[in-house]
Amino acid sequence: MTSGIEHRRLAVVGPGAIGCTFAAVARRAGLSEVPLYGRTGVDRITVRPDDGEPVVLSGGVRTDPSAALGPVDWVLLAVKVHQTAAAAPWLRALCGPETVVVALRNGVEHREQLAPFVGRATVLPTVVWCPAEMLDRETVRLRGVAALTVPDEPAGHRLAGLLTPGGAQVDIAENFQTELWRKLIMNAAAGLMVLAGRRTGMFRRPDVRELAVALARECAAVGAAEGAMLDASAADKIVDDLAAMPADLGSSILYDREAGRALEWDARNGVVRRLGARHGVPTPVSDVVVPLLAAASDDPN
Ligand SMILES: NC(=O)c1ccc[n+]([C@@H]2O[C@H](COP(=O)([O-])OP(=O)(O)OC[C@H]3O[C@@H](n4cnc5c(N)ncnc54)[C@H](OP(=O)(O)O)[C@@H]3O)[C@@H](O)[C@H]2O)c1
């Protein structure tokens, strides 16, 4: 007979800012075993919410996929989108036909991008809203609630049931496509932060706001062609929201740039240009921004 814990076996692949944030949620929700699978071994990681008690993930990060115990019920996949192919050995080891792979990452192409790596497992796309930052290899700062939006489907409801007791806010979206694209507009605007080397305070400049609005509106137009219910006024509001955020707020793509790492530029900005071309929607701002982000991502340390 299967015990309760075995029945809810969960593993995290990609124990960075977001992976550790949701590992901490799962621990607070009562799962005693939350293995962290990554590429850099660390003995323990502490998640420090700005407005809550720290959670110590004492099991450390394991780095050998051949030692992973699968299949599991849940894989929380939180590698950067461009790191997915390299994480394939973990997915092979952990996925079975009953597994749900929760895509804790940005972008709008989760199902099609993950399908080649997960066999018969189910992919659950999400929109991740919480700002989290690795302060160093052993410390994650969580600035706000661990919030997710998931589609209105059985796996989404089950994930909400699993993580809500641990303090996560899991919203079920009837029109999930709209929420995916709403977040993508924020991600695309964050590409401007990379090019300027500045945090969200830069959106308070009228000239930057004008540029961000043009970018946001073209993203909304591409999103609308993909079925999202977004228009120019929704795009403008997203830029207003960015300008209203704490001026020192960063973005995971900005942290990567500051550290000289490869950038998630294709999933967050390139996709606007690619899908815009497919639908015949002009993307003049992305046409300039995307090659510059791609170039900034070349030859990382
Ligand atoms: N941070 C945020 O505030 C935030 C908010 C919303 C959405 N997101 C999205 O969430 C996703 C994760 O972002 P993040 O900020 O958590 O990134 P992150 O801190 O860089 O974490 C990525 C983790 O994946 C690990 N990794 C890389 N390659 C791997 C491999 N082959 N196998 C196993 N693990 C591997 C990295 O290890 P190393 O330590 O060795 O690099 C790191 O621990 C991204 O799509 C991002 O856009 C982030």
Domain co-membership, 135 together with 53: yes
Q: What is the DSSP track for 118-177?
A: STTPEEEE-EE---EEEEETTEEEE-S--EEEEESSHHHHHHHHHHGGGT-EEEEETTHH
Q: Report the percent of the chain where pLDDT is more than 90.
A: 93
Q: What angle do CA 236, 267, 258 make, to 5 degrees?
A: 85
Q: Residue 38: CB within 6 Å of ligand 1? A: yes
Q: Residue 158: CB within 6 Å of ligand 1? A: no
Structural domain count, the chain: 2
Distance of alpha carbon 72 from alpha carbon 13, whole angstroms: 12
Q: What is the pLDDT of residue 1?
A: 34
Identify the residue whose C-alpha is closest to ligand 1 atom 19. Answer: 16
Q: What is the pLDDT of residue 32?
A: 86
Domain co-membership, 104 together with 234: no
Evaluate whether 131 touches 153 at the Cβ level (below 8 Å). Answer: no
Q: What is the pLDDT of residue 301?
A: 46
Domain co-membership, 169 together with 199: no
| Domain extent at residue 86 | 4-173
Output the CA torsion 63→65→69→70 (10° steps): 130
Stretches where the chain sits below pLDDT 50 are: 1-7, 301
Write phi, then psi, for 280 (nearest 5 degrees): 70, 25
Domain co-membership, 165 together with 260: no
Distance of alpha carbon 247 from alpha carbon 143, whole angstroms: 13
CA of 19 to the centre of ligand 1 (A): 7
Q: Residue 13: CB within 6 Å of ligand 1? A: yes
Longest dimension (CA), the chain: 64
Question: Which amino acid, one-letter code, is at 181?
Answer: W
CB neighbour class for 7 (10 Å; exposed up to 12, middle 13-18, buried from 19): exposed
- Mutation choice for ligand 1 from 186, 252, 264, CB with most ligand atoms inside 8 A: 252
CA of 232 to the centre of ligand 1 (A): 31
Domain co-membership, 159 together with 207: no
Domain co-membership, 82 together with 227: no
Q: Which atom of ligand 1 is nearest to the CA of 81?
A: 45
CATH number at residue 113: 3.40.50.720
Q: Which atom of ligand 1 is nearest to the CA of 63?
A: 33
Distance of alpha carbon 5 from alpha carbon 10, whole angstroms: 9
Rounded to the nearest 10 degrees, what angle do helices 206-225 and 176-196 cross at? 150
Domain co-membership, 106 together with 229: no
Distance of alpha carbon 163 from alpha carbon 122, whole angstroms: 18
Q: Residue 190: CB within 6 Å of ligand 1? A: no
Distance of alpha carbon 71 from alpha carbon 98, whole angstroms: 8
CA of 80 to the centre of ligand 1 (A): 5
Q: What is the pLDDT of residue 6?
A: 39
Q: Which of 154, 173, 192 is the last residue of a domain?
A: 173
Catalytic member of 27, 28, 182, 183? 183
Scanning the chain, the segments in alpha helix (DSSP H) are 4-7, 17-28, 88-94, 110-114, 154-163, 176-196, 206-225, 232-244, 252-258, 265, 271-279, 284-297
Per the annotation, the verdict on 183 as an active-site residue is yes
Domain co-membership, 160 together with 147: yes
Q: How far is CA 272 from CA 132, 133, 207, 295, in A?
A: 24, 25, 22, 17
CATH number at residue 206: 1.10.1040.10
The CB density around residue 243, as the number of other CB atoms within 10 Å, is: 17
Closest CA to 33 of 70, 1, 84: 70
Domain co-membership, 118 together with 186: no
Judged by phi (left if over 0) then psi (alpha if -120 to 50, else beta), residue 60 lies in: left
Domain co-membership, 239 together with 146: no
Q: Which residues of 125-163 are buried (b: 16+ CB within 10 A; e: fewer)?
A: bbbbbbbbbbeeebebbbbeebebbbbeeebbebbbebb
**289 token code pair:** 């921004």
Q: Which of 173, 193, 216 is the last residue of a domain?
A: 173
Domain co-membership, 71 together with 152: yes
Q: Residue 75: CB within 6 Å of ligand 1? A: no
Q: What is the pLDDT of residues 123-174, one digit of tens each?
A: 999 999 988 999 999 999 999 999 999 999 999 999 999 999 999 999 999 9
Q: What is the pLDDT of residue 8?
A: 62
Domain co-membership, 75 together with 189: no
Q: Which of 173, 207, 242 is the last residue of a domain?
A: 173
Q: Residue 65: CB within 6 Å of ligand 1? A: no
Q: Residue 122: CB within 6 Å of ligand 1? A: no
Q: How far is CA 29 from the centre of its chain?
A: 21
Q: What is the pLDDT of residues 252-272, one digit of tens each?
A: 999 999 999 999 999 999 999
